[in-house]
Amino acid sequence: MPDYKAPLREIQFVMNEVLESEKHYASLPGCEDATPDMVNAIIEEGAKFAERVLAPLNQVGDQEGCQFNNGDVKTPTGFKEAYQQYVEGGWPSLSHDPAHGGQGLPESIGTIISEMVGTANWSWGMYPGLSHGAMNTLSEHGTDEQKAVYLTKLVSGEWTGTMCLTESHCGTDLGLLRTKAEPQADGSYKISGSKIFISAGEHDMAENIIHIVLARLPDAPAGTKGISLFIVPKFMPQGDAVGARNGVVCGSIEHKMGIHGNATCVLNFDDATGYLIGPPNKGLNCMFTFMNTARLGTALQGLAHAEWGFQNSLPYAKDRLQMRSLTGAKNTEGAADPIIVHPAIRNMLLTQKAFAEGGRALIYFCAQLVDKAKLAGADEKLEADALLAFLTPIAKAFLTETGFESANHGVQVYGGHGYIAEWGMEQNVRDARISMLYEGTTQIQALDLLGRKVLMSQGESLKGFTKIVHKFCKEHANNDAMKPFVEPLATLNQEWGELTMKVGMKAMQDREEVGAAAVDYLMYSGYVTLAYFWARMAQQAQLALDQGTAEEAFYKAKLTTARFYFARLLPRTRAHAEIMQSGADSLMALDAEHFAF
């Protein structure tokens, strides 16, 4: 049976030692309550919930899936009860405003809970995950009345939320959106249209569902400048309870590759009552609050599948006896050696481990930026916002690509058994696959990074991060133990800027060059970004070893994994650097009608 154990020591290492969360919280107004003891206690409780309640439902959710019956959706056995426990534990309110019933803790603590919840059971975690995005959107753009009516119910967990963008003819290109919103005399709107692929769009876990919907006003300009954002409840609120059913129904649910426990719904809006959030025609700007929450949430999914794949590959690799080690028998009493003796198996395990641990550092760093963007003083807030905008597409696309790779290694470590459902490794691959598609595909994140963030800012957004890397490299340049990390990192950090210039120059001649280079540029950026976090983790581990520690094995393993990352994963930048410079010609030369004969 596959299982999940929250990696508490790893979490604490990144949070307390590498990212110095105590200092971080002490520097932010309103975070005084987030003392190390309190944070650790919350994380330990979250770990118990993830391990004991959610992990056992992961395979159940995959096997049973959601069932659709005449507009209703029944979630898999145990999902509803687990959600009740989640609500009773106060988890939905963790990082939300006390004015609406929240506990007011920093977002970065919620991120750690989401990691454990999502790794234990991604399909289940999407229900509260989408509510979290809806809450952030209402907090930022809702009126006081909307907050009082809807936000408080989402914060308490009594109601859940969704994000309704996609229509059958419009996925990536939201400018094509057709759902209509007709203004009514009482200030509300009648929403009509069909949304597809809406996660958690219908279910039996909560008494009401609050859809956050993009639609067009009658006189709206064409394209993305004519989109507005609305709240559309499944049941109309009535006092503190729910009243009449609104005109939104689930038409069907999708049969899909993975995340079977999460309902992916067609939602039909037929004169459904809705309320405008934010200014008319500025809906996409407001929805970006939701989308950015969801993008970091999806980056977490990459980490989740890497971590889960690693945790479940490791015991098998130690247990499964096949063939002998190339350097002679290691398990002389047994008929063969455990497969963990083979370099190729170690390569896969260490790849999973390096992506999971490196990814955790990147995500927690981003989560601290979210804290700063919310709570810090004006200058620091601006800086955090800019850095977050730059790192979000990298975290989303790179960590989901490497999460999927890690899940795939899990199948390979198990050999043929990895292909068999019982062991859970094939489920991990199927569940991971969606993460590179929703919340903006890898290709779209790549265009966002290179086109919108880097080139449109004349490289300024990149410099915001490379300066941080440069400072770190300079600080540790004379430390012999750090040279194997700092020297290659400094070289790549400089090359990153040079490659950006080269691609930018080509793009001035031909815009296709941006599209041709973007995915390799993003992957290159991801490997260098993770190298920075691995160098920081190596430095922290080295420091602990130099100062003397009772946990020598832990810190040595950290250093060894850092060396593995630099030796065997970071060289992938070479291929990405070459490909991104190879130009658009070979891609664009073939006419669409000559692709096949």
209 binds ligand FAD (CB under 6 A): no
Q: Is 9 exposed, middle or buried (0-12, 13-18, 19+ CB in 10 A)?
A: exposed
Pick the piece of the chain touching ligand FAD (CB under 6 A) from 46-54, 197-205, 296-304, 556-564. Answer: 197-205
Shortest approach of ligand FAD to residue 164 CB, angstroms? 6
Q: Is 194 exposed, middle or buried (0-12, 13-18, 19+ CB in 10 A)?
A: middle
Which of 198, 348, 450, 514 binds ligand FAD (CB under 6 A)? It is 198
Total site size for ligand FAD, rule CB under 6 A? 19
Shortest approach of ligand FAD to residue 128 CB, angstroms? 14
Shortest approach of ligand FAD to residue 196 CB, angstroms? 7
Q: Would you say 249 or 354 has its CB closer to ligand FAD?
A: 249
Q: Would you say 109 or 518 has its CB closer to ligand FAD?
A: 518
CA gap 158, 153 in Å, rounded: 6
CA R_g for the chain: 24
Q: Would you say 41 or 456 has its CB closer to ligand FAD?
A: 456
Do 203 and 161 touch, CB atoms closer than 8 A?
A: no
Pick the piece of the chain touching ligand FAD (CB under 6 A) from 194-202, 337-345, 390-398, 456-464. Answer: 194-202
Q: ∠ CA(456), CA(470), CA(525), 5° rounding?
A: 50
197 binds ligand FAD (CB under 6 A): yes
Which of 131, 137, 199, 281 binds ligand FAD (CB under 6 A)? It is 199
Q: ∠ CA(452), CA(453), CA(458), 5° rounding?
A: 95
**Continuous segment of H or E residues that includes residue 231:** strand 228-233
* Beta-carbon contacts of residue 102 (< 8 Å; ≥ 6 apart): 93, 94, 95, 96, 155
CB atoms inside a 10 Å sphere around CB 407: 30
The tokens describing 230, both together, are 């609305």
Shortest approach of ligand FAD to residue 256 CB, angstroms? 6
Three-state DSSP state, 143? coil
Q: Would you say 68 or 365 has its CB closer to ligand FAD?
A: 68
Count of alpha carbons within 13 Å of 377, Cβ hemisphere only? 2
Contacts of ligand FAD in 80-139 (CB under 6 A): none
User: Quick one: which of 429, 398, 395 has its CA closest to 312?
Assistant: 429
In the shown chain, the binding pattern of residues 412 to 441 toward ligand FAD, with x for contact by CB under 6 A and - for none, equals ----------------------x--xx--x
Count of alpha carbons within 13 Å of 257, Cβ hemisphere only? 10
Shortest approach of ligand FAD to residue 273 CB, angstroms? 20
Contacts of ligand FAD in 163-182 (CB under 6 A): 163-166, 171-172
Shortest approach of ligand FAD to residue 166 CB, angstroms? 4
Q: Would you say 357 or 431 has its CB closer to ligand FAD?
A: 431
Do 42 and 70 touch, CB atoms closer than 8 A?
A: no
CA gap 77, 79 in Å, rounded: 6
H-assigned helices in 164-319: 283-319
DSSP-derived secondary structure letter, 584: S
516 binds ligand FAD (CB under 6 A): no
SS (H, E, C) 482-539: HHHHHHHHHHHHHHHHHHHHHHHHHHHHCCHHHHHHHHHHHHHHHHHHHHHHHHHHHH
Q: Which residue has the tokens 């620091």?
A: 380
Q: Would you say 67 or 143 has its CB closer to ligand FAD?
A: 67
444 binds ligand FAD (CB under 6 A): yes
Shortest approach of ligand FAD to residue 203 CB, angstroms? 13
515 binds ligand FAD (CB under 6 A): yes
In the shown chain, the binding pattern of residues 240 to 279 toward ligand FAD, with x for contact by CB under 6 A and - for none, equals ----------------x-------x---------------
The tokens describing 452, both together, are 């919108």
Q: Which residues are catalytic?
A: 439
Q: Would you say 220 or 291 has its CB closer to ligand FAD?
A: 291
Shortest approach of ligand FAD to residue 198 CB, angstroms? 5
In the shown chain, the binding pattern of residues 129 to 168 toward ligand FAD, with x for contact by CB under 6 A and - for none, equals ----------------------------------xxxx--
CA gap 274, 286 in Å, rounded: 16
Distance of CA 490 to the CA centre of its chain: 28
The tokens describing 45, both together, are 């409780």
User: Quick one: which of 305, 312, 300 has its CA closest to 406?
Assistant: 305
Q: ∠ CA(356), CA(92), CA(89), 5° rounding?
A: 100
Q: Would you say 42 or 434 has its CB closer to ligand FAD?
A: 434
Contacts of ligand FAD in 379-408 (CB under 6 A): none
DSSP per residue, 394-407: HHHHHHHHHHHHHH
451 binds ligand FAD (CB under 6 A): no
Pick the piece of the chain touching ligand FAD (CB under 6 A) from 395-403, 442-450, 494-502, 556-564. Answer: 442-450
Count of alpha carbons within 13 Å of 567, Cβ hemisphere only? 8
Q: Would you say 99 or 437 has its CB closer to ligand FAD?
A: 437
Shortest approach of ligand FAD to residue 398 CB, angstroms? 15
Q: Would you say 7 or 403 has its CB closer to ligand FAD?
A: 403
Shortest approach of ligand FAD to residue 165 CB, angstroms? 3
**Which residues make up the interface to ligand FAD (CB under 6 A)?**
163-166, 171-172, 197-199, 256, 264, 434, 437-438, 441, 443-444, 447, 515
